[in-house]
Amino acid sequence: MLTVLVTGASGFLGRAVAARIVAAGHEVYTFQRRASGVPGVIDRLGSVEDPAAVARAIDGIDAVVHLAAKVSLAGEAADFEAVNVGGTRTLLAAAADAGACRFVYVSSPSVAHAGASIVGQDALPADPDRARGDYARTKARAELIALAADSPRLRVVAVRPHLVWGPGDTQLVARIVDRARSGRLPLLGHGAALIDSTYVDNAASAIAAALEHADGVHGRAYVVTNGEPRPVAELLAGICAAAGVPAPAWRVPAALARGAGSLIEAAWQVRPGADEPPMTRFLAEQLSTAHWFDQRRTRADLDWVPEVTLDEGFRRLAASYR
């Protein structure tokens, strides 16, 4: 049994990860700004930007699973840097000082996305110079910092779940449903680009598997998906059908959406809106280029396979809306 600290456990994926690690029989503490609500864990509240709070949280910990991050399409670059890069540095230093032996850094495939399609590839190297947007750039830098800290004493693994969704998701699913309900969800191009996604239970089990197998796979990065690429139009339609809202029925040329995204980003920097911008260049590229990944190394090294198919995930999502 390990004593594990899970950061960001008040978030959608973080809650699922903490619950999965509890179910595996480990003693789990969580660290974030508010209570996690996960049964069987002990919450230690604070910010990854506070070295003293991090040191207190990590006292007596054997392993860290780091999910806490600033995730947004907009915001001040300094805030992304402070949380995603600075917070990761602080956690790594505290983990080493506390004698922790394992560190799972939860990253994103966007760290290796430079605007072009990704077709059947494994985890490409994180590239902060070419990644799109402050979130992706800072996550890429943080992943490189985490993997550079790998050693025989502190075994570090990076896991990149792609497009995580499921019941209770207030990010991807909620925004798709809200925009579809109000008629503001277009297809970019023909909606035919193949995109991988990951049902939340599968993402959580893969991260837990990385924790269990860290001694044998440390120093590496793994992309995690359901391994069931679908056309983006089909993926959006499945989520919309589960929520009982109309699927997108109008189209915008992909090149036009990318140009509009760049203009909206620039305007948002001058006068930010109350919510996320309706489009960014990064989002337009994500919705109009293929993103599907070779999962053979991930499944073999982590001794892991997805438990929930996409179709079963859609059924579970529909049940949650009913």
pLDDT score of 229: 95
Q: Which residues contact 218 (CB under 8 A, 6 or more apart)?
A: 102, 150, 155, 156, 157
Q: Note the residue count of the chain.
A: 322
Terminal CA-CA length for the chain: 39
Residue 18: inside a domain: yes
pTM: 0.91
Residue 181: inside a domain: no
Q: What is the DSSP string of 270-317?
A: HS--SS--S--HHHHHHHHS-EEE--HHHHHHHT---SS-HHHHHHHH
Task: Using alpha carbons, list the distances in angstroms from residue 29 to 26, 103, 173, 186, 322.
Answer: 10, 14, 28, 42, 33
- Hunting for tokens 């990590």 — which residue is that? 58
Annotation marks residue 135 as catalytic: yes
Average pLDDT over residues 162-188: 84
pLDDT score of 187: 72
By the 8 A CB rule, do 180 and 247 touch?
A: yes
pLDDT digits (tens, 9 = 90+) for 300-320: 999 999 999 999 999 999 999
CATH label of the domain that carries residue 11? 3.40.50.720
Give the burial class of 303: count Cβ atoms within 10 A of its Cβ; 0-12 exposed, 13-18 middle, 19 or more buried.
Answer: exposed
Distance CA 169, CA 71 (A): 14
Residue 129: inside a domain: yes
Distance CA 196, CA 3 (A): 33
Residue 117: inside a domain: yes
Which residue in 135, 199, 222, 321 is the catalytic one?
A: 135
Residue 318: inside a domain: no
pLDDT digits (tens, 9 = 90+) for 271-294: 655 565 554 555 656 666 788 899
Residue 28: inside a domain: yes
Q: Between the ranges 92-96, 117-121, 235-239, where is the mean pLDDT highest?
A: 92-96
Residue 216: inside a domain: yes
Alpha helices in the chain (DSSP H): 12-23, 51-58, 77-80, 87-98, 133-148, 172-181, 200-212, 214-217, 232-243, 254-270, 281-288, 296-302, 310-321
Which carries the bigger pLDDT value, residue 197 or residue 257? 197
Half-sphere exposure of 212 (CA within 13 A, CB side): 18
**Lowest mean pLDDT across 87-96, 173-182, 190-199, 254-263:** 254-263
The partner residues of 198 in beta bridges, in order of sequence, read 164
The total number of structural domains that make up the chain:
1
- Residue 124 banded pLDDT, cuts 50, 70, 90: confident
* Maximum CA extent, the chain: 55
Residue 231: inside a domain: no
Residue span of the structural domain in which 107 resides: 3-164+198-225+293-307
